Each structure stands twice: as C-alpha cells, then as structure tokens.
Structure 1
Amino acid sequence: MTNDDIDWLRLQKALAVEAEKGFVDLVGKQYRFSEFLCLSFGKPPATLSVEERRRWQEMAMQFAEYHQMTQEERQSLVAAARRCLHLSQQVSEQQHLYALGDIEDKETRRQGGQGSNSSHQPPATSHSSDFPLSSTGVQMCAPTDSRIIQPKTSTLVSTKSSEINQRLAPSLEQPLTRLPEIGARRGEILAKLGLYTVRDVLLYYPRDHINYARQVKICDLEAGETATLVGTVKKCQCFTSPRNAKLSILEIVLKDNTGQIRINYFFAGGRYSHRGWQEQQKRKYPPGAVVAASGLVKESKYGLTLDKPALEVLAHPGDTIDSLTVGRVVPIYPLTEGVGADMVRKAVTTALPSLVHLKDPLPKALRDYYGFVEVREAIANIHFPADTDALELARRRLVFDEFFYLQLGLLQRQYKARQIANSAVLSPSGQLVEKFYQLLPFKLTGAQQRVINDILNDLKKSVPMNRLVQGDVGSGKTVVAVVAILAAIQSGYQGALMAPTEVLAEQHYRKLVGWFNLLHLPVELLTGSTPAAKRRQIHAQLETGELPLLVGTHALIQDKVIFQRLGLVVIDEQHRFGVGQRARLQQKGESPHVLTMTATPIPRTLALTLHGDLDVSQIDELPPGRQKIHTTVLSSKERSHAYELILREVAQGRQAYIVLPLVEESEKLDLKAAVDEFQKLQESIFPQFQVGLLHGRMSSADKDEVINLFRDNQTQILVSTTVIEVGVDVPNATVMLIENAERFGLSQLHQLRGRVGRGAAQSFCLLMGNPKNETARQRLKVLEESQDGFFIAEADMRFRGPGEVLGMRQAGLPDFTLASLIDDQAVLEIAREAAEKVMEKDPTLQRWSLMQAELTYRYQKLMGGTILT
C-alpha cells in the first residue's frame, strides 16, 4: 500500500466527529464508525516501520471491540488513534520526500555528472575548543548534528535530513500572510506587534515563562505555586448559575490516589446558558477520563484549586502531553489589543521549522569556550523549552548575543576612530602646564596624577583622544581638565568646555578665571544669558584665535560659534547632553581630542553599555583633609532635631542648604511649596538669620544674585530646588537638609550631599521623609551607610533601573529584548571579553562575514542606530 492509498484527512475527520458527538459509534453511509476505523487500521501503509504497522494492527483489533466498550474506554481509544494517525502521517510523508530527494539527486548527477558527495559535503569543523579564535577551521554554518526542539511533542528532530527540511520550511523572510497556517487576516493582526516575516516571529522572544513542567500529586499541591497534575474525572457538570441567568459554571472534580480537587470555570454571557453548549462541555470530560491540568494553585472555599487551568484529555495516565500550555514551561509574550496569546504561540510553532535556514554567526570555537548552545537550539528553547534548564541555557546564549553585538559595535567604532590620524598632536610638557602646577596651593592626589598621565599620553598621539573621566563629588576633576586644556593652549590650539547648566558653567568659569588670570590667559563665558554685544565680541575673538578657551552651555554649539583652531573639547556631566549635541561641538574643529567628565558615578555595566567605545579613567581618591559627611535618615516627626542642628551650625558662622524636590509633572505646585517653605523658615523658624530662595524658574541674573549672596555668607540658609545639584561650591556650608528624600534617586541624593563637606569642618546631611514601604526605607539606608558613589550608583540601578540612574528615562540606552543590565552583569562582562578577543584577531570581521552581517542587522533593528550615531 502506498502513501496515496490512505486518506489521512478522512480518517482524522471521522475521529474528530466521533469525539464531538460523544463517542456514540456513528453510522455512516456504508459503515459504522468502528467498522470504518477497523478496516482502515487493518491496512497500514507499507512506508511505516514494522513496529508502527504492528501498532496499526492492534488498533484495528481494538476498534473491532468498540461497540462493547464503556464511554471512558472509547474516549481513550479515539484519543490514542488520533495521535497514532498524526505520527504515522508525518513518518509516511517524510519517507515520501526522501524518495523524491533521491530521484532529484540522481537526476542532478545524471545532468551535471557530479559525485553524490559534492553537494552534501559538510563544512570543515574546528576541533579546537581553545579561544582566542584560530584563523582557520571556524565553522560558519549550523553543525550537521544540531537539533531543533519541536514544541508540540518536545522531541528532538535531527537535521540529518536538512536539505529536505529546508525545502519544506518557509524562508526566514517569508511574509506571514503567505503562510497557509496564518493567512492574510491573522497576518494583519500579528502586524500590530511588528511581526511581518518568519524571522520577526522567531526573534519575538517571550517576556516571561510560567513553569507548568513540575508534575505533582494532588496531596502535594501548595498555594501560590504553579504545577501540573494528572487525575481522573470523578464528576463533571456544566450548569447555569441559579443566581445569575447569564453566568454558566463548568465544574470538574479530579482525583488521583492521594486525593481530589475541584476546578471551576465561569462563563459570562447568555450564549453559554444554551443547554447544547453545556452538554458539549460535559462530553469533553466524562467521568473516568484521564486529564492533565496545569495552573496556579489557589485557596478556595472548597480547599485548594487550580485557577483557570489549561486542560488536556489523555489516553491513559502515562500518556504524552501534546498541548502547548499543559505540563510544560509556557511562554508569555508581549501582547496588544486584539492579538491573543494563542495566536502568537501558533505563529511561533509555524515559524520554528524555519530555524533550519538559520546559520550561527558565532564561531564554534567561541561557543565551546564559553559554553553556549547553538543559536537554533537557543531560539527554539526560548519559545518552548523542554524544562527550566533548557530555558536558562537558551536565555544565557541570547542575552550574550545582545550584549556581544553591542560591545562589538562599540569596539569597531573605537577602532575606526583610531584609524583617523589627523588630530592635533599636543605637547604634554611646557611652560604653561609647569607654571600651573606651581600655582596650585595643594598637592595633586595619586589618582589625579594617574588620570592626568592617561590624558597627556593620549594628547601626544595624532589619533583623537576619546576619554571619559569619572570621579566622585569633590575628587578634583576640574584640575585634571585644566591640565589638558593648558596642554592644548601651549601647543597653539584652542579649548572649549561645555557644561549642561548655566550654574555649572558659571562655576567652572569662576574657577578658571582665577587660575587663568595668574597665567595671563583670557577666558570667556558664553551662555543663553550672555548679552548680544558680548556675544559678538566672543565670536570675533574665537575666529581670530585671540581667545584660547571658551566656557559655556549649549550656546557653544550654535552656528555662529567658530573656532580658529579647536584642539580639545571638554564636556562636563556629558550624559546630560544628547549624542547630536556632543557631536556638533566636536565638529567645530578638525577631529579635536575629546575629554568627557562626570561626577555621577556610573556602574561598570552601564558604563560599558553607554561608553564602551571610550577609554575610561577613574579618580577614585578624595583630596586629603576631606571628612566623611555624617548622614542621618529622619522622619518628619523628627524635624525639630534637624532645625536644632541647623541653628547650632549657623550660630557658629556656618551655612546650610534646605532642598525641596522638584517633580516635572507638578512643577508649579512644587514651586509654590518652595516659596511657602522659604517664607515659613524666614519668618517663623530662623527669623534671626537671612534665608535665601533658589529655583529653576528664576532668571539667570536672579540666580547669580542668590548664589553670590550665599557664597559671601550674606545669606546663611539657602532654600533651593535641585538646581544646586551641581556647580554650587560653598566650602562654608556644613548642613544639607533634604525634604521628601524618598522622592529622589540615590545618585541624585549623593550629588546633593556633595554640596557640603567641601571645607575642613565636619558636615552633615539629613534625609527627611516618610518612606511608604520597605524598599524606600532600604534605599535611604544605603546613603546613610555609604559615601562610595560607585557603590551607591550600583544600588540605585538595582532599585530604579539603569535609565533613571542618570536622570533620564532610557535615553541613549539600547532597547534590549532579553538582557538586563541589573541581572545579567556577568554575561555582559563575558560579552565584552569575547568582543575584545574577536577584535584582536580581525577588527574588520572579514573572517566572519556572518558575524559582520549580524552586527549590521542588530544595530539597525535592536539599537536603532543610537549607539553608533
């Protein structure tokens, strides 16, 4: 009997109709259902194995006794027959395709005269597991023994027949609308999720998984856990609620040898009250049927139950579970209105066979060295893992990929920048730098000197410097920047220093004027508040080269600002500028050296992600004599203690800050609160002292006046919003009281705290608030117990996420699908190491064209080009 002698569709339809009608042994035109199945299974296809044909004969004998069976036995037999038929059809069709493949191969050999091995020779495979990569033997396509998990049966299908599989499976770029299993209507719905092709679906990873793979006995169920149980239906009833005519209830009681459990489903709507529909539900789960149920265990008035579990009827207690949601690790996908989970899962199962077209861009030597699974196995298991171990291996590989291509792109960008050898070569030693060292009233710390050496070594090269200097509040970054600026000036070039706010720009200008006057060098300040006449004068002096250094805000990137010979760009708090703004300032010169600084400590994982193409130096040492700031968390009930401390310090001639939060969504409300608080403090709490008010909505002139009064100690207490976070330097201030401290991020609190402790006297920071939960209390405790900005930044990232640490909502961060900068730090470190090793071997990636193609795809698709702008 050939494959064509079996009408597979007719057999499956007969089984489906019998199940739908309640296993009544339907009567057809020629035969009863049982007679038709007995005859059909009595003639198995010749393409089946001996074992499969034996199973068909046994099935035929069982259908011969169908009329004597109970309802439960009939249901089990029909279920077994459907599974047997499904598997046999797959085997038969595969054998048929093998035959066709042999015919095509013979025809090809006859026409082309080529040996049979010429088109099937597998690529050479590296037998070395060492890494770094060797230049030969790197396998660039999928290994011939790789396997793909088939989700419905969780079996492994070998790619031994990869050519046949590739003929059958849709291409990765095949539109979903052209797949028969999806079609135009479903394809349009899936497009709402951005899913247009088979590749899109394969790379649409679940956002989470629910573990139903753990199978337990009823007596071992525990509330709050997810589990799967297999039991026998003791009772099943479906009825309309006596209290609500539009509510129907399906109640199933399952039992095993350890106990029983009641499961209820509720259906709202008049159509569910139809008696025919209710009877149909009861026929699905007749008494005696074996059912697998997966769900969340919850307490109910009847004891433990499963909340809306997924169910599958089995042939017997040890039967294989075929469902996509029962007894397995179930993927949970991001959805949108109108797109259901079942539709996405169906699309994924349809797309999975196309993994045979996917070649792994990572060389086998690299995968073996780090213990990563092959990419096809990873993608299959991220969607439908056999168990939690398979899921973890899959996720680790795919998270690595996201980090690896990011790091590879950043390192390639750095490599390409270093190939441009047209920057100014600056002299690290000279009269100006030496004279500046002599002017300093203090000795540089070892960390400052180390960072200066890093910078001066960069400036000696014609390759443009691109270095980030990280340093905690008060670590002395400005002095380091001045040395670099003087190296540029003494070499005949100009410098530019850009800060994000006028307050910070003015603070830098004030420091630099003091030093530059002693060195007989002019320096100017350019901000949005600079008068037009002064602005024109600055523009003219820049163009002629008379002005060697310009300090300013965003005003520096205006078109009218033209440098004669810009050799060095210094950007402070650079994360507050956009990529485009930083680039525009660099374009004011011909490949100028770039030094960026930040007083906001950045965790290493975040630094690698944002600044992986930069050289990083860290000033990890505070100047001698700086005392630890005594930090205390207070509740609002302890406000009197805070006022007593302020009163004591101010009475001794020192000064204090009182900071109020500023929330963007309610800026006017908070402004009013600041004004009210200022008036109350001046009139009622500290009438004997002068209290000042500073907030972001004041004009620049008014801000300057308030800051100058405070700096000159004409104002003893300054009530302020967060505008004092950076740039205000008053060594006489020893107390910082921060109201509603729980509303700030830890890094921002650490920055605010840095406004005190800048002199020799003991300083204090009081964090006042009423945290509403334990997490908020723990956050403030971090500040109380640590002065280490990098430790605080790490903690802040864990509490609030990476985007908020820098005072931004994911700006400039790549949009990772699976990877987490908080949970996957170890994988990020591995990815960086691997990317560095690849770049050492071949920075152009010519050896690994698939890797280069994947890198290009990732930056266009995943990162949106933001990193490489």
Structure 2
Amino acid sequence: MRLNDSVGVLTGVGPKTVTGLNSLGIFSIRDLLFYFPFRYDDLQARPLAELADQEKALFKGTVISAPVVSYFGPHKVRLNVRLLIEQTVVIVTFFNQPWLKDKFLPDEEIAVYGKWNESRKSVVGLKVITQNTQNELDPIYSVNKQIRQKKLIELIQSAYQETGELLIDIVPENIRQHYRLLTDSELVRQMHFPKTIQESDAARRTAIFREFFLFEVKIQQVRQTNGQVDDGLQLAYDLPSLKEFIATLPFALTGAQKRVVNEICADLKSPQHMNRLLQGDVGSGKTVVAALAMFAAVTAGYQAALMVPTEILAEQHYQKLVKLFAPMKVHVALLTGSMKGPERQSSLTEIETGRANIVIGTHALIQDTINYAKLGFIVIDEQHRFGVNQRRSLREKGLNPDILSMTATPIPRTLAITTYGEMDISTIDELPAGRRPVETSWLKINQADKALALTRNQLDHGDQAFVIAPLISESDKMSLQNAEDLYEKLSKYFAPKYQVALLHGQMSSDEKAATMASFNRNEIQVLVATTVVEVGVDVPNANIMIIYNADRFGLATLHQLRGRVGRGDRQAFCYLIADPQNEVAVKRMEIMTQTNNGFTLAEADLKLRGQGDIFGDKQSGLPEFKIGDPVGDNNSLVTAHQVALELFREDPQLEAPQNLQLKQYLSELKDNENFD
C-alpha cells in the first residue's frame, strides 16, 4: 500500500465509502492521513467546583441506579441515569440515544462527556467514553451523513498502521529544525492521536506552518516559471513623450502614483510577461496611472485596451480619457455590447485598422468578431469581476500582451501575500492633495428624515445626491427598503425644485447610460439606485450618499458606495440608515464612521468575518486553508512566506539534497490535483 493509492485499497472500504470520503475531499491514503480534526474534546476529568455553567467536560462517576428511558413526543426519547460524582448525585440526560441504556450498569464506573448545568447540578450527555485510552483529548472531525466520526477514525487508524512509516518529510530538515517543527510522521500521529494537550498544540503549530509553507512554495514556483518565460513583448516606449503627456495633466501626480508608474513601465520594457496588480483606494487615481501606462504602450507602436465590468463605467472612462489624451493626438475607441449598426461597425474598423490607439469597453472586447491590429497592452479594471477565461480570451486577442489588473477593493495586507502571491503588486497608498475625507454618520431608520433634510440643504448649495436601496422592488421575503418605493417617495419629497431619477440593473443599457448622462449634467439632482453604482461611477458634483439598510452590506461595498461622493473639492457626506440586528453589523456601522481608509476597513472586515467570503460571491479569490487561519495565524503565514522566498532565492531549482523531497512533492502535485 502506498500513500498515493486510492482510499479504496483499505480493508472494508467499498464504492459507497469511497464516494463518501471523496465528498470530504479525501481521495488518497495521503489525503486521509492529512485530514486533521478541527478541534478536540478535553478528556481530563476536572472537579465539579471548577466547572463553569454550560461548560463541556468529562465526568467520571459510578452508576447508582438503572437508566430510565422515556418518550416525550414523536421520535423524541430521553434517557436519564444517576451517577455518583465526588459524593454528589448527578443526573445525566441523553436525548434520542436510547441504545446507550446498555452502557450503564449499576455499581460500575463510567465516563461521560457532556455539558454541565450548574444550577441543577446535572449534565446533558453528548457521548459515552468507553475506550480504554490514555489520551487526554478526543479528536473531532468535519464529517457528513455518508461518513460518520467513528467510521472516519477507524479508517485513519487503519491507514496510519499500514502506511505511517512511509511518510517522508516534505518540509526540508534545516527549516524544520530551525522552527522546531515535527516530522510528517510525528505530525500525523500527534494530530490524530494526541496523548496530551501539549502534543496536540505542537502538532497544530507544525500543521499550520506546513500548510502555509507548501502554499507559498507553490506560489514561488509559479513566479519562477513565469519569470523564465522571455517571449513577452518588450515595449520600448518613448520616455520624452510620456513626460510631455504628464506635463499636460491638469493636476500633479502624487508620490505613490509616480512610484507605481515607474514599476509598471519597468515591466513594459522587460521581455517577461507583466503579471501585475495595481490596487488603490477609491479616488486614489488608478485611472490616471492606467492612462499613462496605456500611452507608454502607444508610443511603443502598440494598441492598448481597457476592459471594465459595466457599460456605465466604460462610457465614463471613454469620456474622461478622450479629454485626457486630446493634447497627445491619441485616438480612443469605445466598444460595448449595446452598440449597434454603424456606430459599432465604425469602432470595429478603427480597432482592426489600428486607427484606434486605445480601446475601452466591456466583455465585448473579447468577442470573436473583434480583431486588433497590434494589441500589446491590456488593463483590466476591477479584475475580480472577470473570470479567468474572460481574461485569457482578451490576452489571446493580442501578441502575448502585457496585462495590468486593477482593483479598488483593497486586499488586507495580511492577505496580499496569499491572494496575489503569484503577482507583482503596486499599491497607491495616498490620496490626491486636497481630497477631503467623507463625513460619515450612522442614523437609525426612524431618523431617516433627518438625512433627507440635510440632503435638501446640500442640494440648495448646488450638490447632488445618491440614495441607495438594497432591493429593486418590494419583496414578500424581506422587509427592506426598495428602490422603486424610495423613488416614488423622494420624487414627492424633493418636488418641484429638484429632479429625482431611478437607476438599477434591470434597466436596459441605453436607459442606464441616458440616466447617468443626465445625472452627470446635473439635470437630475437625486439618483435613487441599487449597488449598480458601486464601482467606478464618477460624478464630481455628487457630495451626498444615503444608504438605506446599510447593515445589509459588507464593509467593502459600503466603502465603494461612499467612494462615489467627495470626488470634487467640496465636503461630502455619507448617511448610513440602519437598525443592525447583531453585534457584527453594529461594529460595521461604527467602523464606517471612524475611518475612510479602505485598507483599514479591509483589515477590520477580515477580523469581523474571518478569511471567508470577504468581498462577496467568492470574487476575491482568497485561498481556503484547511488548518491555518491567515488572520489568527498571520505570524506563521508571514514567516512561511519569507522562508519560501529565501528558499527559492538560494536554490531556485531545488537541487540541494535537503530540498529533493519538496521538489518531488511539487512534481507530483502537477500530475495529481487531489494530492495533499
């Protein structure tokens, strides 16, 4: 039996059990051995006087009377048994486990794991500890209806007895010794069968580092492989022309913008493919940086493309960049899915002939009918909103073009090395001079009229306002504010002096574009919308943002929405209307009123919500670890990252004797996607 063999080779494991194990992500013997418990029940009996109410513990006592089984409802069974514990009679109750009756024999000692009720001096039993074990801990695994705890433990014991001695250390010995880590064999034994809390702690510490280290090693291998590919474009851009373009800008670049422009331009000149992410807070000036990079590509004789997630954003970028590039005689084309007839054909011709130096559009840019003359550089805005295949399709349109991805959703620094580990990251970490923080207030729902009154006052001073609702129309499932009702209400509230309009995702592209154009021209003063305006929409005259049921949104979305205002030189205001129902939602409201820094908010969101779906719909691509927590175990993560970097710096081909097992692991990983 080998570690890479299917779990089906284990004695007593048939097709049904194999299917059940597969559903847990267990395919090979190795997978089974490294399927670790997520917690342990403490099997050390403690004095009753030390136990807190509702605390789970092990209780050892003598059965002083036969158990009594009673029925108190359909399919509901109660088993009561009295134990003498420390000269105290304790009633232990098990629910819906009548078969345990035979475990309790009068005058015999028994151990029960359960929850202590201090006031009643009783225990709600969870399980009977019958095995004769010296272990202090009982491992608890994530299981399902197909594979139960008992069955899984039996299989792990069997696999360890058969193959435990075959475990070979993947983490190099010098690293293990330096950080006092267990061997793989010790790790597996102490994770599954710890004799003491100290053993389980040592094993868990090793398991966390090992998982992070192997992840970081894979990342470094990808970076190294990409770095060896020299068939990318070398864009020999015209530096004097780029400086001339910068001089035409109506504002001075920030120090952060200058730094990231230099980083991107160095990539353009390199023969290696650019694989860079530009991240910056809302309003930090990413679009200008992208414009400079695209212009550099144009001076090198290539076309550049900017792909954005929505037509509203594409139109906005088009209008802005046409003005920005006008002094440099750069021709910009727009291409969206809603364009038809002569307008669309004109854009297609400009792109194919090369008259269009820069193309701005949505996913329409990757349609089969689009042919580029000489596409050499691509910018993907809000990159997490496009799938891998969409990004690949755009790349295949050109001549192995360089790609710059951008995001206004700041990734917490604690996760940047895992989320974008294979990419180079440029960060704009300062806002343009004169940009004022948005004043943010949290109001209860019964105070909403106060926000409207404050908004009317701001409108009287020439400002415009966004009003956001979580739903488009009324729902019988959720009693939340909807945009249609809000539009009707506010149209009356602000009439006749101010115009109110409605914008949501179910409107046609033409309707949305027309509404946004009217709002931009200040023909509409109040725009009632859903989160369709979350990303990128830029209306410098809009200085009020009201968000109804704000507690229904994550911090990232709230921050993006708030970023739609305060883009001019006047003070902007954001009103969060919410009656949060839990502590986490309350903290979100409080944090929003305390800071405008997107990176600070991202860190806070991470701590509130854990490493999971931070930015919604799994769009962020955050890795999911089985054991380690990138937040709680961040020190270990950072150390593993540094160790992996140093390892590949010293031995990029992993040829040193102590690294050969790691090299073998990475080689097998390519051939077996289920390999641990």
**Matched-pair contact (CA < 8 Å) for 1:296–1:309:** no
Aligned pairs for 1:140-159 (under 5 A) are none
- After TM superposition, the structure 1 stretch with the greater mean CA deviation from structure 2, 828-837 or 259-268, is 259-268
For residue 631 of structure 2, give the secondary structure of its aligned residue in structure 1: coil
Query: 1:226 matched to which residue of 2?
Result: 56
- After TM superposition, the structure 1 stretch with the greater mean CA deviation from structure 2, 303-312 or 360-369, is 303-312
- Is 1:635 equivalent to 2:451 in the alignment? no
Distance 1:863 1:471 in 2: 36
Distance 1:864 1:343, change over 3 A: closer
Distance 1:365 1:644 in 2: 68
For residue 692 of structure 1, give the secondary structure of its aligned residue in structure 2: strand
Query: 1:855 matched to which residue of 2?
Result: 666
**Matched-pair contact (CA < 8 Å) for 1:815–1:862:** no
**Matched-pair contact (CA < 8 Å) for 1:458–1:465:** yes
**Matched-pair contact (CA < 8 Å) for 1:575–1:806:** no
Distance 1:776 1:188, change over 3 A: closer
Query: 1:171 matched to which residue of 2?
Result: 2
Distance 1:232 1:617 in 2: 67
Query: 1:546 matched to which residue of 2?
Result: 355
1:334 Cα deviation after fit: 1.9
1:606 Cα deviation after fit: 3.1
For residue 253 of structure 1, give the secondary structure of its aligned residue in structure 2: strand
Q: Which of these residues, 128, 140, 144, is aligned with residue 310 of structure 1?
A: 128
Distance 2:522 2:73 in 1: 76
**Matched-pair contact (CA < 8 Å) for 2:366–2:393:** yes
Q: Which of these residues, 320, 336, 355, is aligned with residue 511 of structure 1?
A: 320
TM-score (norm 1): 0.72
- Is 1:386 equivalent to 2:195 in the alignment? yes
Distance 1:385 1:862, change over 3 A: farther
For residue 236 of structure 1, give the secondary structure of its aligned residue in structure 2: coil
- Is 1:255 equivalent to 2:85 in the alignment? yes
**Matched-pair contact (CA < 8 Å) for 1:219–1:259:** no
Query: 1:81 matched to which residue of 2?
Result: none
**Matched-pair contact (CA < 8 Å) for 1:816–1:862:** no
Distance 1:212 1:830 in 2: 30
Aligned pairs for 1:185-204 (under 5 A) are 190=21, 193=24, 195=26, 197-204=28-35
- Is 1:455 equivalent to 2:274 in the alignment? no
- Is 1:471 equivalent to 2:272 in the alignment? no
**Matched-pair contact (CA < 8 Å) for 1:662–1:670:** no
Q: Which of these residues, 89, 106, 116, is aligned with residue 286 of structure 1?
A: 106
Distance 1:423 1:664, change over 3 A: farther
1:850 Cα deviation after fit: 2.1
For residue 564 of structure 1, give the secondary structure of its aligned residue in structure 2: coil
Query: 1:577 matched to which residue of 2?
Result: 386
Q: Which amino acid aligns with 2:48?
A: I
**Matched-pair contact (CA < 8 Å) for 1:725–1:751:** yes
Q: Which amino acid aligns with 1:205?
A: F
For residue 498 of structure 2, give the secondary structure of its aligned residue in structure 1: coil
Deviations 1:348-388 (A, max 9, x none): 11122222101011111011222322122122222222233
Query: 2:159 matched to which residue of 1?
Result: 351
- Is 1:340 equivalent to 2:148 in the alignment? yes
Deviations 1:445-494 (A, max 9, x none): 11111111111222222222221111111111111111111111111111
Deviations 1:282-308 (A, max 9, x none): 5xx331x3433333323574x232523
Q: Which of these residues, 505, 529, 543, is aligned with residue 696 of structure 1?
A: 505
CA RMSD, Structure 1 to Structure 2 (Å): 3.0
Distance 1:697 1:192, change over 3 A: closer
For residue 404 of structure 1, give the secondary structure of its aligned residue in structure 2: helix
Query: 1:237 matched to which residue of 2?
Result: 66
- After TM superposition, the structure 1 stretch with the greater mean CA deviation from structure 2, 602-611 or 427-436, is 427-436
Distance 1:490 1:434 in 2: 12
Distance 1:408 1:459 in 2: 27
- Is 1:610 equivalent to 2:419 in the alignment? yes
Query: 2:377 matched to which residue of 1?
Result: 568
Query: 1:486 matched to which residue of 2?
Result: 295
For residue 525 of structure 1, give the secondary structure of its aligned residue in structure 2: strand
Deviations 1:615-645 (A, max 9, x none): 1111111111111111000001111210111
Distance 2:385 2:185 in 1: 40
Query: 2:548 matched to which residue of 1?
Result: 739
Aligned pairs for 1:671-682 (under 5 A) are 673-682=482-491
- Is 1:812 equivalent to 2:643 in the alignment? no
1:402 Cα deviation after fit: 2.6
**Matched-pair contact (CA < 8 Å) for 1:236–1:250:** no
Distance 1:795 1:636, change over 3 A: same
Query: 2:117 matched to which residue of 1?
Result: 298
For residue 422 of structure 1, give the secondary structure of its aligned residue in structure 2: coil
Unaligned runs of 5+ in 1: 1-169, 313-320
Distance 1:830 1:252, change over 3 A: same
Distance 1:662 1:801 in 2: 26
1:191 Cα deviation after fit: 5.4
- Is 1:375 equivalent to 2:204 in the alignment? no
Deviations 1:260-297 (A, max 9, x none): 4332345677xx7xxxx96x555xx331x343333332
Distance 1:628 1:244 in 2: 61
Query: 1:78 matched to which residue of 2?
Result: none
Query: 1:531 matched to which residue of 2?
Result: 340
Distance 1:540 1:434 in 2: 31
Q: Percent identity?
A: 38
**Matched-pair contact (CA < 8 Å) for 1:405–1:858:** no
Q: Which of these residues, 516, 520, 532, is aligned with residue 329 of structure 2?
A: 520
Q: Which amino acid aligns with 1:349?
A: Q
TM-score (norm 2): 0.92
Distance 2:240 2:103 in 1: 93
Q: Which amino acid aligns with 2:145?
A: E
User: What number of residue pairs does the alignment pair up?
Assistant: 672
- After TM superposition, the structure 1 stretch with the greater mean CA deviation from structure 2, 651-660 or 379-388, is 379-388
Query: 1:328 matched to which residue of 2?
Result: 136
| Higher Cα radius of gyration | 1
Query: 1:205 matched to which residue of 2?
Result: 36
Q: Which amino acid aligns with 1:800?
A: R
**Matched-pair contact (CA < 8 Å) for 2:379–2:404:** yes
Q: Which amino acid aligns with 1:172?
A: L
Aligned pairs for 1:77-116 (under 5 A) are none
1:182 Cα deviation after fit: 5.6
**Matched-pair contact (CA < 8 Å) for 1:469–1:619:** yes
- After TM superposition, the structure 1 stretch with the greater mean CA deviation from structure 2, 724-733 or 759-768, is 724-733
1:864 Cα deviation after fit: 9.7
- After TM superposition, the structure 1 stretch with the greater mean CA deviation from structure 2, 740-749 or 812-821, is 812-821
For residue 546 of structure 1, give the secondary structure of its aligned residue in structure 2: coil
For residue 293 of structure 1, give the secondary structure of its aligned residue in structure 2: strand
Distance 1:800 1:767, change over 3 A: same
Q: Which of these residues, 553, 565, 576, is aligned with residue 767 of structure 1?
A: 576
Q: Which amino acid aligns with 1:343?
A: K
Deviations 1:657-694 (A, max 9, x none): 11111489979999993122111111235442111111
For residue 333 of structure 2, give the secondary structure of its aligned residue in structure 1: strand
1:184 Cα deviation after fit: 7.6
Query: 2:516 matched to which residue of 1?
Result: 707
